[in-house]
Structure 1
């Protein structure tokens, strides 16, 4: 399996049988040698890559792990590493299908599905890197970026108010069983909130069968329901300005649900040692003081597999007769009008580098209940960067629309397509950035926002908020014969800048139509287009 993140609209189109289009990435071969030392785990492997390369290091790359070090990593260890490949900006991550995968499939009753798939012995890669697992140490990402990684010992002693274990980044049984073994017979000190966010009901079943749930509760942990929860700011919001250590994949500003949060990312071992001491603590130092040996919890045999939670779909004939129900908090997708031939509007926001989709369309308990209510959700758009953005956008939406100027890696993080839909609803027609995160760039195209890039990144410094920019001749420029370079005139400063797009002919058609959906929908009275004919 090659699992590649995309926006929701592209997932829906793929489910309907349409192709998924991607720019062919380079392949980054990462050779693993050695074996992880005690108190160092899979989370530290991916944090090491983020320490070396930052959040843009994997852009337009597939990470392929290989080498003798793989033998010591379980399938769930590999999941932990692959999960945060997205934080490097990678298209995806892949591991070989080997004995570790066979062991995992055997454990969940699917051993007959195993197929060995490994790279050829003389396989070569576009980029090469090596990590000696035995040389790694516990690492931690400081607020407010997964790429801001340092050794735990470098920040040891920082006070901790909250520790949360769980999420998609550390979802396996061992990621909870190791903390449970560490806190068994011990107590979390006053002033520390120790939160356990089980990944699934099945994990909670297995922890309970083994007595680990009791050890966690007895130590003072709060057990929350299964799901994303704290990772997307739905509960477990930390106290303002207090350090929160989490085994989560992301720590973008405000993602936790607290405006002035201070979220750190680390392994379950580091999180638990810190919960027990009340300060950021290297688990090796904690273990040395107490003469504790590293826990090695046995996996349940067999692990829980609760299929009773799954409901099969209705037969197609019956499903076709079921009316789609929408409650009052569910709105239809707004109408997406075609791109005009000329854009003449103000720059309502000038954003810096590495702006995340959490900052464009916030997560958290205030906004996410309106995820299916676009007009209401639009009121939260970009408010982390400019609380007045929605009001100013509404003021010019009907008259001119507006533009956004941004730095590098605009739209990193979640595949959340609302970060394209709600600005579009508020009249955004173009973004000019130094560069984009892959999924957000595609989401902008899907909803009819023109993503442009500076030919000269230094021109970014010459544009300010409220400058009025003019783009003319867009329909010719985005025609099949059009050149990828356009001129932008800054009427406020009487300057011009060269910008370019990276749109394929298919994407040009979508942006001109106002988005993928209008491009697929023939005008009233028209017959089916080529893209609608069976088999097209």
Structure 2
């Protein structure tokens, strides 16, 4: 039996375990990336493990979320990150240089490599044949120190592409179609591997749009094989030597196959407030639009912005609408500027932002109240744009630009018919990606050789070892699909405290219940109750770290998102699975007591635990955990576990001088 591309890369990097679905495996990591809102904790944890030097082939630190530096705390974070990169041997991308996924794709992503990143959209380079996985910050720190990354072997599903995209349809519409079919839970526990004759019709940037938003399906990763299009892209980046032919065997077997005929794809749009709420654009045409944004790590490349530029060229943005371009990298802006497209867009009434994640997480360009914002971003969770009860739609650059001209949602094919002189823009790559590298500081160019910590840089919070007895109040009961944005919001007034956990914890679950943090401290901890897919969205480990700081001992949920589940183990919070009947019966305020000796049960491999409710009734909760995850829980989290492993001669160990 042949192997899938995913299996080939995993086998080549396998350190521990066997490639059997559901079994825990440890893999060697070639590259790591982190960004400014997760990176401070990554480096503080790296320091706490007494590590001296990065051990992966590539480590890159990007400053892309807090680019606008509203407060000295943001700027102090960036200075600290620059000093950490210089001290430990990582690349440093200065604020404004671009979003981590875009800059990494331009400079480092390579076929056949493995990458771990402390951002959920890390799978973006899968469009180049790299197996890239998002994870919590401490997982990245440990991998950067040379230890394996552990994960359950995912199912590998084949997405077979046939046909070719028609005019006015785009790669964004392909991933929106998959979200329409599969939902935000459809990829959980899976790697989506793209094959078929349709693959060769897509350029690398189109492929990375698809792999980027595979995260919204809940997928562990998404990946394409390499071919002449891959070689061509790397050549345009002057990285021909990074090319390698990788792909599945002809007789590879997949857990399932989904067929997508690209020829049938039409312009689609995700309606508020979930990425899988997808319909054809024509179904919501006529909705007035006050804001249009083209950019982000999904559609922020030169190739994405250029079609929008061609649509607005010689025209004007509607008087009722504001249009902003938020490029994925400074390179994209530079190339467009040198060709005159920035001037053309500005003449049409378009504004340009720095290359930043900013608006995607509610930092800048917050929509007006009771208005519609059309964005080419990847997420439209309620409130993520910076205002509660927002109305954010997700679409392609072509649909966004058409709406900017019309002032309302319109299928670009219909706008072309109305105007009579609007041709479908071609999707083209520049001859050379020859933008400046001035903002990417190599390890050899480092300007710091010791850590610089401002007053907002705190310590890594630690949890005590697991007790025999777990009891407390059910402090909050939540619905399905609670996101990490619900748990720890990412708006600028909160984000600046990512390095200050005591302060940040005050905002924990404030979007669900603004009394939660105060109640948790008064109760001296307790439990959370949730429905399905708890913790979907960002990789931010603060969504586990802050509840841990507030004393949360465990979460009872019907199911967990992959990265957040791992983060709960990493910070010593027990992730218990419950059935629907139990979820429906549990109430906020219930007194819960795990009857069993929890420490002994975790140590012994016990899976089922009896929980008593109000001394009135009982239910069974399941702990599905590997031996390694149980060891981490017992010690209070991954940091303590890693230091113990290093002291014992295994795991991440300090580098030689």
- Alignment TM-score, normalising by the size of structure 2: 0.78
Runs of at least 5 residues in structure 2 that lack an aligned partner in the other structure: 1-129
* Separation in structure 2 between the aligned mates of residue 215 and residue 339 of structure 1, nearest angstrom: 61
Cα pair 2:402 2:410 within 8 Å, conserved? yes
Aligned to 1:269: 398
1:48-67 map, 5 Å = 48-67=177-196
Going from structure 1 to structure 2, the CA distance change for 1:44 and 1:487 (only over 3 Å counts) comes to same
Look up the match of 1:429. 553
The match for 2:511 among 381, 384, 387 is 384
1:487 aligns with 2:614: no
Give the distance between the partners of 1:282 and 1:109, measured in 2 at CA: 37
Q: 1:522, CA displacement in angstroms?
A: 4.8
Any conservation in 2 of the 1:411–1:441 contact (CA below 8 Å)? yes
Contact in 1 for aligned 2:301/2:329 (Cα 8 Å): no
Tell me, yes or no, if structure 1 residue 519 matches structure 2 residue 641. Answer: yes
2-structure distance, mates of 1:331, 1:528: 25
Quote the Cα distance in structure 2 between the aligned partners of 1:184 and 1:264. Answer: 24
Aligned counterpart in structure 2 of residue 235 of structure 1, from 348, 360, 364:
364
Q: What aligned pairs does 1:30-429 form with structure 2 within 5 A after superposition? A: 30-291=159-420, 292-296=422-426, 298-313=428-443, 322-397=449-524, 401-429=525-553
Question: Does structure 2 retain, via aligned residues, the 8 Å contact 1:157–1:280?
Answer: yes
Residue 648 of structure 2: aligned partner:
529
Kindly provide the CA deviation profile for residues 361-384 of structure 1, in whole angstroms up to 9, marking residues without a partner as x: 001111111111111111111000
Deviation for aligned residue 1:534: 5.8
The 1-side partners of 2:241 and 2:372 are apart by 46
In 2: Cα distance, 1:385 partner to 1:370 partner: 20
Relative contact order higher in (CA < 8 Å, ≥ 6 apart): 2
Q: Secondary structure at the match of 1:115?
A: coil
Q: Deviations over 1:46-72 (max 9, x none)?
A: 000000010000111100011011121
Q: CA deviation at 1:505?
A: 1.0
Q: Distance in 2 between matches of 1:10 and 1:306?
A: 32
SS at match of 2:258: strand
Q: CA RMSD in A?
A: 1.8
Matched residue, 1:439 = 563
Mapped partners of 2:427, 2:471: distance in 1: 63
CA contact (8 A) 1:475 1:512 kept: yes
Greater shift in the superposed pair: 401-410 or 116-125: 116-125
- Distance in 2 (CA, whole Å) between partners of 1:312 and 1:195 is 31
* Residues 27 and 533 (structure 1), Cα distance of their counterparts in 2 relative to 1, 3 Å cut: closer
1:445 to 1:534, Cα distance in 2 relative to 1, 3 A: closer
Q: Do 1:274 and 1:281's aligned partners in 2 also have CA atoms closer than 8 Å?
A: yes
Equivalent in the alignment of 1:462: 585
- Of 87-96 and 284-293, the range deviating more from structure 2: 284-293
Deviations 1:443-463 (A, max 9, x none): 010011100101x32110001
* Gap change, CA 1:197 and 1:461, over 3 Å in 2: same
| Alignment correspondent of 2:145 | 16
Count of aligned pairs = 524
